[in-house]
Structure 1
Amino acid sequence: MHAPTTRWTTRIATVLRTTALSLLAAAAAASLGVGPAHAADGDVAWTVRTASNSYGASRSSYSYAVNPGGTIDDAMMVANRGPVPLNLAVYAADGFTTDAGQLDLFTKDRKSVAVGAWVQADQATVTIQPGKTAKVPFRISVPANATPGDHVGGILTSLTQPDQAEGINVDRRLGIRIKLRVGGELAPHLAVENLHVSYAGTANPFGKGDATVTYTIHNTGNTTLSSKQTVSVSGPFGWLRTGAGEVPAAPDLLPGESWPVTVPVHGVAPGVRLAATATLTPLLTDASGSVSPLPVVRSTTHGWAVPWTLVLLVVVLVAVIVGAVVLRRRNRVRRARREDARVEEAVKQALRAKETRTD
């Protein structure tokens, strides 16, 4: 069985220092066009595309549904568009999602355990004369104990050339994605992990501040999934709810992969105790390329949003009021004491005056 998907080819430039044989830099680019993927640099130029056969013509990438223990035979077409002969290495590699949210392929020195280990080209190298095209057959042998679900990788061509000016070897790679859906029970699932909310208020005691919601999307299922996201924060009992606005969709995550998310939420009222909620709508792409939403995944956490400026203002006002009450009571006591002393003195004077008249 097979199912073509939208074109996806990958191009990677990996720079290795010749003296130390250590990695200096790597750059990648993905081609989503209809035509074959193309690599060019000066006099070096070649293209790769899928072969036309029983799996289809003008396919954009390799996509198969296969049972554990099954095999698939297919081919890649490599064309030399430059003026000099090309000697290209051919190998397969597992796929992964980069920090930029793009699908990339392992470099040759990194061990593959799935598609990159299951794909074997008929030849490890191919030599192509200028203007000629070579067919590179390959076989995919899926182990009998392969995990059901999606496995993504690619088949690559590679050209390593020295750069005398920089004193490095430049490894240019060009490949085509391979997506396998191994038969068995599909269990698509995303989880929201490490959900946290923090709050930053303003100097205005009656103003609103900003909240920052962070979490990790973890693909805990066995299928490739993307997701739509919404984030909101609210005060106690759901009062003063504030949404984060449009949150970018998460990229396609392969089974087992995680994606960190940071979402700012502006104009949040300091409700003392905040509730932050992250809601995901997982999106599953089937073999035909259609996308289906799955049941939402929702998680909530709590954090403090204390309006410290307002609290300080209230404390100052309370202190002023308490001070005024205490001062008023002290003044009242002092007046009462003065009045008692005046009365006592008047009584004493009256008694002395009476004693004087009696004598």
Structure 2
Amino acid sequence: MQIFRPAVRPNARLSATIASVVAGAVALGAMLASPPARAEEAAPIDEIGISAQPVNDDGPIRTRFDYQIGPGQSLEDGYNVSNRGTAAQTFSVFATDAFNTDEGAFSLLDTGVAPTDAGAWVSFSGEPSVQVTLQPGESTTIPFTMRVPDDATPGDHAGGLVASVQSPDGQVIVDRRLGTRLYVRVPGDLQPNLSIAGISASYTPNVNPFAGETTITYTVRNAGNVALSGDLKAEVRGLFGIPLAAPVQEELSEMLPGSTRTVTTTISGVGQWVYLNPLVTVYPRVDETAPNPGPLLSVSRDTVVFAVPWLLLGLILLALLVWGGLRLSRRRNDARAKEWMEHAEAEARRKAETERESVSAGSGA
């Protein structure tokens, strides 16, 4: 953040009036000796810049701290802090615990909140924090000690090292922090375990009975003691496991032990096939820099949704009613035609009989 210092500008109009009065009262040389009114140059802007990273001497470049230490053991390491700003700054360096936000981001405890896990295992010459003042462009390496308590539980413990600069901004103190991830793997019974704690689904129909949407909501839980990320796959199947739409795949960012995350996925192009079987699968993995925790098993969970094509059924019912009405009308017409034919035949027979009787009567006479 840039802090501006306003320049001081004299009142130009008042200065001009005074200069005119002096010019009328004294000699021309005295007037020429009067300095013109001008604005002072703006003060330089102080920019605060922080750079901090693990020490990378002769080994591979590190972007985070990864340790595998047993209970009661300790090690030494260093944190390189640099002042990238334009003014001298006092840095506070400390360690704290990490957690996952509701959105799944890796985050650190606020400044002033005491850590209880991996952040509490770091000390700077026996102190929980250290302060150092650096000139612009100056860097320094801050040594620290990581000691794992005797009663530390097996698995991953996450935290972060923080370089903080506090500066006033009006009446507010702004805390600018830069953190570096810190992971401690305590050997023992490692249990990499991502599970699906719950799942629900709903169906949104479309005018086109084959273009609906299925929305799946489920909760992923890291029920083990190893930090895991993974890949998610959501799909919808029908009877006999027949796929009804293209599956949706997405990435699951790292989840720390004990954390949960709710995921909502929408699958398009799902027809109204009455019986729908939404299914989600989690394929866990670990960060490429983390130690191998052993076999990682995928986990799946499904549910059932009924998508009845009411519109299609309504059209079919209407078509059946029309067909039935036409068939009934045709039957009635056929019956009436048959009755008329029978009546006509009966009349013809009656007339013929009458004519024969008339002819017979005439012959007898």
TM-score (normalizing by structure 2): 0.70
Query: CA shift at 1:91, angstroms?
Result: 2.0
1:300 to partner: Cα distance: 1.5
2:232 counterpart (220, 229, 232): 229
Structure-2 residue corresponding to 1:160: 166
What is the CA–CA distance in structure 2 between the aligned matches of 1:169 and 1:288, rounded to whole Å? Answer: 37
The structural deviation recorded for 1:316 is: 2.2
How far the C-alpha of 1:291 sits from its partner, in A, is 9.7
Any idea what SS the aligned residue of 1:48 has?
A: strand
Greater strand fraction, Structure 1 or Structure 2: 1
Of residues 190, 197, 202, the one that matches 1:193 is 197
Structure 1 position 84, deviation (Å): 3.2
Could you tell me how far apart the structure 2 residues matched to 1:249 and 1:234 are? 21
The amino acid that maps onto 2:223 is: T
Conserved? CA contact 1:190–1:218, under 8 Å: yes
Distance 1:58 1:161, change over 3 A: same
Are 2:222 and 1:219 aligned?
A: yes
Aligned residues of 1:116 and 1:154 also touching (Cα < 8 A): yes
Please say if residues 91 and 157 of structure 1, whose CA atoms lie closer than 8 Å, have aligned partners that are also in contact: yes
Which residue does the alignment assign to 2:48? 44
The alpha-carbon deviation at position 184 of structure 1 amounts to 0.7
Q: Which residue of 2 aligns with 1:140?
A: 146
Q: Give the greater-gyration-radius structure (CA).
A: 2
Find out whether 1:178 has 2:182 as its counterpart. Answer: yes
Q: Corresponding residue for 1:126?
A: 131
How many positions carry a matched residue from both structures?
A: 305
Residues 1:297 and 2:302 aligned together = no
Does the 8 Å contact 2:235/2:243 carry over to 1? no
CA distance in 1, matches of 2:105, 2:172: 27
Are residue 204 (structure 1) and residue 208 (structure 2) matched? Answer: yes
Q: Cα offset for 1:221? A: 1.0
Distance in 2, Cα, partners of 1:201 & 1:154: 47
Q: Within the alignment, does 1:274 sit opposite 2:280 as a pair?
A: no
Higher helix proportion (structure 1 or 2): 2
Q: Partners in 2 of 1:304 and 1:320 — Cα distance? A: 28
Q: For 2:252 and 2:104, how far apart are their aligned partners in 1?
A: 8
Q: Distance in 2 between matches of 1:175 and 1:147?
A: 25
TM-superposed CA distance for 1:72, in Å, is: 2.8
Deviates more, 1:137-146 or 1:305-314: 137-146
- Between the aligned partners of 1:151 and 1:144, the Cα distance in structure 2 is 14
Which range moves more in the overlay, 324-333 or 249-258?
324-333
Matched-pair contact (CA < 8 Å) for 1:283–1:291: no
In 2: Cα distance, 1:291 partner to 1:147 partner: 15
Identical amino acids, percent of aligned pairs: 33
What 5-or-longer segments of structure 2 have no aligned partner? 2-44, 347-365
Query: Which SS does the other structure have where 1:255 is aligned?
Result: coil
Root mean square deviation, CA, Å: 3.7
RCO comparison, higher one (Cα < 8 Å, 6+): 1
State how far apart, in whole Å, the 1-side matches of 2:289 and 2:169 are: 43
Flag the 1:139–1:213 CA change in 2: closer, same or farther, 3 A: same
> How many Å apart are 1:186 and its aligned residue?
0.7
Q: Write the distance in 2 (CA, Å) between the matches of 1:320 and 1:58.
A: 77
